[in-house]
A and B are shown apart, each in its own frame.
Chain A
Amino acid sequence: MRNPKPASTPANRQLVASFRDPAGFVFRDTDGTVYRQINQAGSVDLDQLISSGLYDELIAKHMLVAHSQVDIKKALTGAATSVIQPERIPYISYPFEWSFSQLRDAALLTLALQKRALAHGMTLKDASAYNVQFIHGKPVFIDTLSFEKYNRGTPWQAYRQFCQHFLAPLALMAFVDASLLQLLRVHLDGIPLDLASKLLPHRAKLRPGIAMHIALHGRAQKAKETEHQKQTRQVSEMGLTGILDSLERTVRRLAPPSANTEWGDYYDKTNYTPEAADAKASLLADLIRPLGIATAVDIGGNNGRYSRVLNDLGITTICTDIDPNAVEANYQFVKHHGETQMLPLLVDITNPGGAIGWANQERPSVSDRLRCDAVVALAIIHHLAISNNLPFARIAEYFAQLGRYVIVEFVPKSDSQVQKLLSTRKDIFSDYTEDGMEQAFNTCFKLKQKKKIKDTKRTLYVFEAR
């Protein structure tokens, strides 16, 4: 039996992702605005971050999320010494949803932050990949309370976390398989280094950086420390610089996996003529423009070809795909062209990431985070309905959870791509017709528009939630 929804209390307004740090936490006000409460344990370090000039430097370089000081009356508990309001982050994504280069750029940002922090007498106390978010196409560090005073001779507390969150998954993707990034879904604090070391081939360990920071490091974690070792736990500043330089070199030398995947060259394998593809793009723009929406999620958006039609209309778009190569290609395009309204993410919509972490609440599910004005599902409906046996009614219910408008491209059975799918399975999909889809969607949506795509057998639909 379900308990009734609890009333809003300080405990449940605190965002669970930040409950581990005694220095402060993030919480949502009753109007939905996100604030960060600073407690006594974090106030000195925050003051040093500002007074040392590090904050201004990082903001000028777009490396850290900006914040403004607000009235302490906003504080959620009596332990507060101040309250800040961070710049709004449009969408929270997780490292297992990133491409290789997204994770590598987040790693390089973390190392660059640590180097700049050391130059200002500070250090990063954690190096979690969850502290990085992609804002306007670039990685930005979001945890203002991660900086603390650096005491000469102390090792980098976040070294292991950096290796587990960044180096291990990057090395596994580069040397073994891109899909091993998904180990981050299981291991909340990064991939254990002894596991990464076991999975990596010997040739990977010929690289000094991998040998030191993963293989040797992994072995050291199992060793019990002697009193003598405890006393010799000192790392000079030169030593820290050496470690950071070595980590940076190791990360930079890792190349994205280049395996051929099913969808990597998708747009070379479609049955569209170039004219039909252009007609689809133009029809899509015509259908979406009147909706006046600001955000969209493109499901199965591949390398972002049609998400960019939305970007051209000023719509910020999360372009999801199941294929790491497609997401990688999209991110490379975003970087190369300095795009600010596109967020490529690796998401399998038939099995979107669930909520993970403490009490299944620490990291919310994809479905809880992926709320937009519109859902765009182009040439994906046949994969959902036929390849995955998902009834139209279920697809409509899920889409209705994600956005107010849904734009669907219906691909009929007579289309060569659907015939290809049906050639290897029994056709048990008697309701896979335009009428069948319209009737099933009718429960959650009302049909706004329906137009044939020129030179194809396909139809574009616009539905609006009831």
Chain B
Amino acid sequence: MLHDIAYIDAGTGSLFIQAIIGGVLAGIVVLRTAIRKIFGKLKPALSRQLVSDEES
């Protein structure tokens, strides 16, 4: 006798879980990109500050 599970397509659950994981990880990607941008802008300013501190 075929068990119930033989009629469940494993790929279906896989697509559904991607939607959930993808949602969470998309948030992390956005956050990471934002942090990189902020640091990217801060870095030149910080290094300029360090150089001027050393010169003075």
List the interface of chain A (C-beta within 8 A of B): 155-157, 159-160, 192, 212-213, 216-217, 220-225, 229, 232-236, 238-243, 245-246
Which of these, B8, B18, B24, B29, contacts A222 with CB under 8 Å? B8
Contact B15 A233 (CB under 8 A): yes
* B52 contacts the other chain (CB 8 A): no
- The SS class assigned to the A binding surface is helix
Nearest-neighbor residue (CB-CB) of B7 within chain A: A224
Which of these, B10, B16, B18, B25, contacts A156 with CB under 8 Å? B18
| Interface band, chain B | 20 to 34
* B30 contacts the other chain (CB 8 A): yes
Contact A235 B13 (CB under 8 A): no
* B40 contacts the other chain (CB 8 A): no
Which of these, B5, B14, B24, B29, contacts A245 with CB under 8 Å? B29
Which of these, A155, A192, A238, contacts B19 with CB under 8 Å? A155
List the interface of chain B (C-beta within 8 A of A): 5, 8, 10-19, 21-30
Which of these, A235, A238, A245, contacts B18 with CB under 8 Å? A235
Q: State in angstroms the CA–CA spacing of A234 and B18 once bound together.
A: 8
Which of these, A225, A232, A240, contacts B13 with CB under 8 Å? A225
Q: Shortest Cβ distance from B6 into chain A, in angstroms?
A: 12
Q: State in angstroms the CA–CA spacing of A465 and B30 once bound together.
A: 65
Q: State in angstroms the CA–CA spacing of A243 and B15 once bound together.
A: 12
Q: Shortest Cβ distance from B28 into chain A, in angstroms?
A: 6
Contact B14 A159 (CB under 8 A): yes
Q: State in angstroms the CA–CA spacing of A192 and B11 once bound together.
A: 12
Contact B19 A233 (CB under 8 A): yes
Contacts of B16 in A (CB 8 A): 220, 223, 225, 229, 232-233
Q: State in angstroms the CA–CA spacing of A32 and B46 once bound together.
A: 65
Q: State in angstroms the CA–CA spacing of A66 and B24 once bound together.
A: 38
Interface centre among B19, B24, B28 (most CB of A within 10 A): B19
Contacts of A156 in B (CB 8 A): 18
In the A-B complex, list the 7 residue pairs whose CB atoms are closest, starting with the nearest.
Answer: A242-B25, A239-B22, A160-B14, A220-B13, A235-B22, A220-B17, A238-B26
If A238-B30, A245-B25, A245-B29 touch, whether A155 touches B15 (CB-CB below 8 Å) is: yes
